[in-house]
Amino acid sequence: MLTRLVLSAHLSSTTSPPWTHAAISWELDNVLMPSPRIWPQIRVLTESMFKHLRKWVVTRFFGHSRQKPRLVSKDGRCNIEFGNVEAQSRFIFFVDIWTTVLDLKWRYKMTIFITAFLGSWFFFGLLWYAVAYIHKDLPEFHPSANHTPCVENINGLTSAFLFSLETQVTIGYGFRCVTEQCATAIFLLIFQSILGVIINSFMCGAILAKISRPKKRAKTITFSKNAVISKRGGKLCLLIRVANLRKSLLISSHIYGKLLKTTVTPEGETIILDQININFVVDAGNENLFFISPLTIYHVIDHNSPFFHMAAETLLQQDFELVVFLDGTVESTSATCQVRTSYVPEEVLWGYRFAPIVSKTKEGKYRVDFHNFSKTVEVETPHCAMCLYNEKDVRARMKRGYDNPNFILSEVNETDDTKM
């Protein structure tokens, strides 16, 4: 309002026409003092803005501290560590050296790769230097003109290292070579050549095997960020969406789930991470999935389901972790891979369903819009599975008739006993 008064005073001091002053004052009134009809819209907009701001602040500064610990991360990694392992048990990892090397991270694997080659070159370089030193082929011994060395042109440790490198990687520049004067040098040449082939085969095979592991193929299989609970086919179901980002298929795909929770037995024993089987199916079953487009898998919440006694109001109070597995065979390599993810109660949305993502273009092609892959739409859903089944039982009883075998229909003749 103060801005309007200052601007009006400034305009009155100018030579502008009076109608201009009136028009500007009317516009300022509409801006600074809105009409009462738009106040509800402003209030709704303000509340929505503060709601999103509060949600962002909570997620940004307090989200990580409020997250519950999970066994399996969203990308499939297992959050578990082993403590107090005996030294004898640790030695088993070196017995199975191939699997140990494959499971190493890339930085450790490349360190071993470089160390293996440089170490072998330097070690055999020392041996070649020792052969030349023992045979007195080095210039410091001042060999005679007719002296035939074990290895030509080795003048020191550096030249011995270069000869070791040329021998193991079979470069063969031709400047340095082994002569027939020394049997020890011939034996060392054969031994280094054999050992070099073994090192090359092991290290190159380990890198190739790690690159082609089916674990990398699993990165192109993605699950929806949230799981939803809604009605499907007249039944209350828990639904999850999964997609294959490659056009190559997964053969013999099989999907299943495990519900992890802490339970107490009747004997009083507390079992942490107790596993309960969760059956997931699609309309065609849960095996040999035709994984050409994103699929929506679902679990029917019936009397045998661990979700049967949960409700929309008590879902966030539960303490469980739903782990979903997808096993399949890679079509291009015939290797078996497994994809897994997990959902905690905060990631299960009650009363929602997934938005459609498959459409058909004018050219007759089917198009998948991954923008709506994890998008959900709120739908009307019973707040508990027990309520849905109780409602169905009541409707079935109302439609059902009962026969009474003791009921006999007798005809009654009506007579007029009233006399005038």
List pLDDT tens digits, range 142-186.
888 888 899 988 999 999 999 999 999 888 787 888 988 889 999
pLDDT score of 126: 96
Q: Is 278 in contact with 257 (CB distance < 8 Å)? A: yes
Q: Is 385 in contact with 236 (CB distance < 8 Å)? A: yes
**107-111, 173-177, 219-223, 302-306: which range is least confident on average?**
173-177
276: three-class secondary structure by DSSP: strand
What does 296-347 look like in DSSP terms, one character per residue? Answer: EEEEE--TTSTTTT-BTTTGGG--EEEEEEEEEEETTT--EEEEEEEE-GGG
What does 347-411 look like in DSSP terms, one character per residue? Answer: GEEETEEEPP-EEE-TTS-EEE-GGGSS-EEE----SBHHHHHHHHHHHHHHH-----TT-----
Query: Is residue 352 predicted with pLDDT exceeding 90?
Result: yes
List pLDDT tens digits, range 210-268.
888 777 777 888 999 999 999 988 889 999 999 988 888 888 888 899 999 988 888 88
Residue located via tokens 């070649």: 128
Sketch out the chain's domains with CATH numbers: 87-212 (1.10.287.70), 217-399 (2.60.40.1400)
Q: Is 328 in contact with 255 (CB distance < 8 Å)? A: no
- Give every CB contact of residue 345 below 8 A, 6+ residues apart in sequence: 68, 315, 316, 317, 318, 319, 320
Whole-number Cα distances in Å, 275 to 145, 271, 278: 82, 10, 9
58 or 252, which is more confident? 252
Residue located via tokens 């303490």: 319
Query: Is residue 347 predicted with pLDDT exceeding 90?
Result: yes
Query: Is residue 28 predicted with pLDDT exceeding 50?
Result: no
pLDDT score of 38: 66
How many CB atoms are closer than 10 A to CB 231? 15
How many CB atoms are closer than 10 A to CB 329? 15
Dist. CA 332–CA 314, nearest whole Å: 46
Read off φ and ψ for residue 309, nearest 5 degrees. -90, 10
In the chain, the percentage of residues whose pLDDT exceeds 70 is 76
Q: Is 167 in contact with 125 (CB distance < 8 Å)? A: no
Dist. CA 148–CA 165, nearest whole Å: 23
The pair of structure tokens assigned to 262 is: 């802490």
What does 122-158 look like in DSSP terms, one character per residue? Answer: HHHHHHHHHHHHHTT-SGGG---TT---SBTT--SHH
Encoded amino acid at 32, one letter: L
Dist. CA 341–CA 200, nearest whole Å: 37
Partners of 78 in beta bridges: 72
